[in-house]
């Protein structure tokens, strides 16, 4: 097999920055959290369809790790027994401020490359970041998309 999951998670130091990066500091984890928090995605196939085109094996590996870290939970759908639902936890939702700051950075420094919607979103964040955080929180909580 490949993409073996040893998952004896080892931290490089006791620095909170490096420790957070030890968990989600790769090119995909934050995007998975983004899709759960901002785009209402909940299933493997929905998560597979992002613009960035994550490979199925990598997605499976990241979902497993994020579940182990308590950043999301894996559950069955109430509708049918084929669908698996991934749900963000509070621990995962607490990455939203980090994500919003990344949006601001991107909007400021990669302007020519960024979509118009993203620029609008950045404007909103700049105006009232806490309101955006609250809004995401409420939306997920009210639709049962938060564990």
Partner DNA sequence: ATAAATAACTTTCAATATGCAAGTAAAAAA
Partner DNA sequence: TTTTTTACTTGCATATTGAAAGTTATTTAT
Give the residues lining the site for DNA (CB under 7 A).
1-4, 6, 26-28, 43-46, 53-58, 60-61, 63, 74, 77, 80-85
Task: Determine, following the binding rule CB under 8 A, whether residue 104 of this chain makes contact with a copy of itself.
Answer: yes
Return the number of the residue (53 or 113) whose C-beta is nearest DNA. 53
**Nearest to residue 92, comparing CAs of 62, 64, 58, 69?**
69
Return the number of the residue (27 or 76) whose C-beta is nearest a copy of itself. 27
Q: Which of a copy of itself, DNA, none binds 55 (CB below 5-8 Å, type-dependent)?
A: DNA
- Name the minimum Å distance from CB 113 to DNA: 19
- Name the minimum Å distance from CB 117 to a copy of itself: 9
Q: Which of DNA, a copy of itself, none binds 133 (CB below 5-8 Å, type-dependent)?
A: none
Mapped to the 3 state alphabet, what secondary structure does the chain carry?
A: CCCCCCCCCCCCCCCHHHHHHHHHCCCCHHHHHHHHHHCCCCCHHHHHCCCCCCCHHHHHHHHHHHHHCCCEEEEECCCCCCCEEEEECHHHHCCHHHHHHHHHHHHHHCHHHCCHHHHHHHHHHHHCHHHHHHHHHHHHHHCCCCC
What is the token pair recorded at 147?
């564990």
Binding to a copy of itself (CB under 8 A) within 48-77 occurs at: 50-53
Catalog residues that contact a copy of itself under the rule CB under 8 A.
11-22, 25-27, 30-31, 34, 50-53, 91, 94-95, 97-99, 101-110, 113-115, 118, 122
């Amino acid at each position: 097999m490949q993409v073996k999951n040893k998952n004896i998670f080892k931290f490089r130091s006791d620095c909170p920055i490096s420790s957070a990066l030890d968990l989600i500091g790769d090119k995909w984890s934050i995007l998975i959290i983004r899709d759960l928090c901002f785009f209402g995605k909940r299933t493997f196939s929905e998560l597979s369809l992002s613009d960035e085109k994550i490979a199925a094996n990598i997605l499976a590996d990241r979902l497993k790790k994020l579940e182990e870290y308590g950043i999301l939970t894996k559950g069955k759908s109430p509708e049918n027994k084929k669908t698996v639902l991934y749900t963000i936890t509070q621990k995962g939702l607490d990455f939203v401020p980090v994500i919003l700051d990344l949006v601001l950075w991107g909007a400021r420094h990669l302007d020519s490359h960024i979509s118009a919607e993203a620029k609008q979103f950045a404007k909103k964040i700049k105006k009232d970041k806490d309101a955006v955080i609250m809004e995401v929180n409420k939306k997920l909580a009210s639709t049962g998309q938060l564990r």
